[in-house]
Each structure stands twice: as structure tokens, then as C-alpha cells.
Amino acid sequence: MIRAMPLAQVKHSHSLDTLKIAAYISWAAVFLGVWRGSSELAPVGEIPARSVAVALMVTFLVGFLIVDRTKHAGLIVQLVSVFCLLMLGPSDTSPVLLIIIAAVITARYPPRTAAAVIVAENVIFLTVIILRWPQFNPWLMVSVYGGFQFFTAYAAHAVRRADESADELRQVNAHLMATRILLAESARDGERLRLSRELHDVSGHKLTALKLNLAVLAKDPALTQHRELQTARSLVDELLNDIRGVVAQLRHHDGIDLKAAIIRLAEPLPIAKIHVHVDDAARVDNTEQAAALVRLAQESLTNAAKHASAQNVWLDLTRDQDQLQLVVEDDGRLIDPVRPGLGLTGMRERVEALGGKLEISTAEAGGMRICARLPRGGLAT
């Protein structure tokens, strides 16, 4: 039987949320300043400057709202709208939008790229001041607002690094906890196996000997009529059947259960929903194979979260006769054809070392599908 275990895990960075709140407050302050100072701006043809300024401010806000869901479009919308706003004429508040953009760029792009974009936008800002703001000192304005931009960029970069470090720490902790669960499950499995052998070999052997001795006694004419002897023989038969049932039940749960370990791995990942399906019969015979499957699940889930930006991931572990199958699918972005990196290459090598096979394809939801098949208890020879 397969049990579905959805994990609602919408995770947010509180520090980045704080930066977003600061950006909204700054935008509102700039909007108020532009609204009050729009009478000094130049109209665009027959369109009043206030109408154009409000439209550009709203456009900037839209770009800020969609920047997390687009690759570059949101940032381009913000840049175009803020420079069009600056071209309308001098303003004490509109350059603050460049500081917001600096934070957005730093949060989304590598440091060198972010620095290059910030320098480029300040060069454009300098040109705008020279052309449209003749009463201002261009170098002073760029120095002041550029300094604030780089300060904001540094703060955003520090927040980003702190969040990445926290994510890595959570994943390492999840892996350690999963390993602890595996060790505990392995110890329980070994104890179950030991108990089943003891019951079968020791108790079963002695009860069988007792049954044979009672059968010999039953042949004595002097004891045949004793009901106690027949009762003893019946009790021995029942006890043997009970022990066989207990041994069979222990053997039924033979193997390491990976469900708890896999769920533990999924907890720290920033994925909206992770659906874990583990067949009750999908038990692993040895710790090496169990560790390999857990590492495969961890690598697959991490890829879906970091590289595919998936919102849903489906993990399915089943047993088909003497074969274990682990399938991980997501609904994230997939670059076709898939070029295996170090992670996928390591997964393939780990599976093949255990005599299995790894397949990578496109999932029905549009993301990546990773399917690992391992012989239950088998190793490569």
C-alpha cells in the first residue's frame, strides 16, 4: 500500500521579507514626493507630468512585484520606468528608486554582475542629470545616491549569504538526522532479525523436542487415558504455531524503513509542497543500500529546489518483486537536453555501484524525472 504524505512547506526568508517591506515603504515615500513635486516636471506632449509620473511609478511597482517570477523582465521594467521618470525633470525623491533596484539586483545576480549593473545605471543617471537636471551638481548627486546604492547592495549581499548559509546548515542538519534515523532503524532491524532467529532456532527446537517426547509418552498404555497428556500435546502444538506466527511477523518487517529518513530530508527545502509516497514493502536489506537511496533522494530534492525552482515535487519509493524503484519528479524548469553535472553524475555512479540503473527524463509536470532502480539486497559484482 502506498501512503501519500504531503508536506506543506512554504518557506520564506524573514530577512529578505524585511528588505521587501523597506522597499515598499521607500516606494510609497517616493510616490508621495513625486506626486507633490510633479508641478515642476515637464509634461510629455499634452499629457500632464503628474499623470506620466504616476504611471511610471505604478509601472515600477509592477516590475518589483514580478521580479521574483521572471528571469530579467521585472528588472528591465524597473530600470526603464525609473529612468523615464528621471528624464521628466529634477526630483528630490525619485533617485531613491535606484537604491531599491540595487537591492533587487544584488539579491538575484552574482556579485560581479550586480556591481557591473549598478555602475552602468549610475553612468546613465549621470547622463540624465547632465541633460535634464542642469541646476544640480552631477558628480555630487551620483556620489551620494551611488554610495547609498552600494551600501544597500552590500547589505543585501550579506543577507543573501546569511540565508544561503542557513539553508546549507538546515540541509546538513537534515542529512545528519536522516543518517541517525537510518542507524536507529538498522539497529531495530538487526534486533528483529536476532529475535526471529532466537525464537525459531532455540524456542522452536526445544518445543519440537518436547512435542516428540510427549508423543513417545502417549504410546504408553498406562498414560493414554490421561487427559492432561493430551492437553499438553495440544498446548505444545498451539505454542509452536504462535511462535511461527511471531517469527513470520518479524520477518515481514525485515529490512530498513526509509520513510522517516526521507521525510526528514524534505523538511528544510524551500519547496511549496513535497509529496512523499513510500510503499510499506519497500524495505532495504543493508545500510549501504539504504544510505545510497537516502542520498539519491536528497540530491534529487535539492536539485528540484535550487536549480528547477519547483513548486511541487513527487517522490515515490516502491518495490516490484526483488527490485526497488525510487522516482522523483518536479514541476520546475527543465533545460532540454539535460546535461548531467557533478550531482547527477555522482547519483548515476552510486546507483551503478549497487548493480542498479538510473534514468533521467522529462516529467509529466514539465520538470525533471529521475528514476533509480536497484536490486533489493543485490550489489554489483
Res 301: pLDDT: 80
Q: What integer is the mean pLDDT of 143-166?
A: 87
Place of cell 492437553: 231
- Determine phi and psi for 95, rounding to 5 degrees: -65, -15
> Could you tell me the three cell numbers for 241?
504455531
Give the pLDDT band (50/70/90) at residue 226.
Answer: confident
Cα separation, 326 vs 351, whole angstroms: 11
Cα separation, 205 vs 57, whole angstroms: 87
Answer yes or no: is pLDDT of 329 > 50. Answer: yes
Lowest average pLDDT, out of 115-119, 131-135, 202-206, 295-299, goes to 202-206
Res 62: pLDDT: 93
Question: Strands 312-320 and 273-279: what pairing?
Answer: parallel
Give the pLDDT band (50/70/90) at residue 164.
Answer: confident
Q: What integer is the mean pLDDT of 170-185?
A: 72
Say if residue 204 is exposed, middle or buried (CB neighbours under 10 Å; 0-12, 13-18, 19+): middle
Give the pLDDT band (50/70/90) at residue 313.
Answer: confident
Nearest to 265 by CA among 184, 178, 181, 185: 178
- pTM of the prediction? 0.58
Answer yes or no: is pLDDT of 232 > 80. Answer: no
Q: What integer is the mean pLDDT of 129-156?
A: 90
Answer yes or no: is pLDDT of 2 > 50. Answer: no
Which of the listed ranges 10-19, 96-105, 333-342 does the model predict with the highest average pLDDT? 96-105
Res 144: pLDDT: 92
For 64-108, write each residue's pLDDT tens digit: 999 877 878 999 999 999 999 998 888 888 899 999 999 999 888
Res 40: pLDDT: 65
* Letter string b/e over residues 236-260, b meaning 16 or more CB atoms within 10 A of that residue's CB: beeebeebeeebeebeeeebbbbbe
Cα separation, 183 vs 273, whole angstroms: 27
Cα separation, 356 vs 358, whole angstroms: 7
Would you say 345 and 339 are in contact if contact means Cβ atoms under 8 Å apart? no
Q: What integer is the mean pLDDT of 249-257?
A: 62
Answer yes or no: is pLDDT of 187 > 80. Answer: no
Answer yes or no: is pLDDT of 5 > 50. Answer: no
Sheet with strand 312-320: strands edge to edge: 2-8, 273-279, 312-320, 323-330, 368-375, 357-362
Answer yes or no: is pLDDT of 18 > 80. Answer: no
Res 116: pLDDT: 92
Answer yes or no: is pLDDT of 35 > 90. Answer: no
